[in-house]
Structure 1
């Protein structure tokens, strides 16, 4: 599905500066890096990767973020089965 979405977006005409500014206004400013926490997660497939989550989340798994696409084996979704915060990184 992600590949299909990327192909569709690639076909879309470029946005005008006016439309781009309107979308930026709608979405607001991008989050600052300090608003994120880095976690090391182990996926169901057994691979480990680092992810960023909003500082407001107590854990990286849960809600809409309880899974990740594994970049190593391609399993999508691969459920997060274990995690630990990476101290000192924002």
Structure 2
């Protein structure tokens, strides 16, 4: 069953950052830095182990299983993203941020969003 998609902070171009947005951005940057340090220390996986993990994860979802969203990032840029159709919001869990294609800020948390019409 598909959930109803919601909007937040519309119109996106006029959204004003909140203290919570600043805090979420700081946390996202700190987490990304920690993950990069851990990955740098980890031994490289063998081809066999990599293939075994791919098999466990299965194949990626079909494109028809995604819905499109228009999001405003912490950096102020607006872009389109795809999320699984069952998600009510595009900013949940590990998908609460994106790399900005315009300014390169990575991560840049999603601070406002709206579903695009025609996607359920």
TM-score (norm 1): 0.68
The CA deviation at 1:31 is: 1.0
Structure 2: give runs of 5+ residues left out of the alignment. Answer: 1-31, 37-43
Equivalent residue for 2:56?
26
C-alpha RMSD over aligned residues = 2.9
> Which runs of structure 2 are paired with 1:38-77 in the superposition (5 Å)?
38-77=68-107
* Count of residues in correspondence between the two structures: 82
How many angstroms apart in 1 are the aligned matches of 2:115 and 2:68?
6
Shift in CA distance, 76/25, structure 1 to aligned 2, threshold 3 Å:
closer
How many angstroms apart in 1 are the aligned matches of 2:107 and 2:53?
29
**Misfit runs of 4+, over 4 Å:** none
Paired residue secondary structure (1:59): coil
Choose between structure 1 and 2: higher strand proportion: 1
- The answer to which structure, 1 or 2, has the higher relative contact order (CA under 8 A, 6+ apart) is 2
Structure 1: give runs of 5+ residues left out of the alignment. Answer: 5-11
The CA deviation at 1:30 is: 2.6
TM-score (norm 2): 0.53
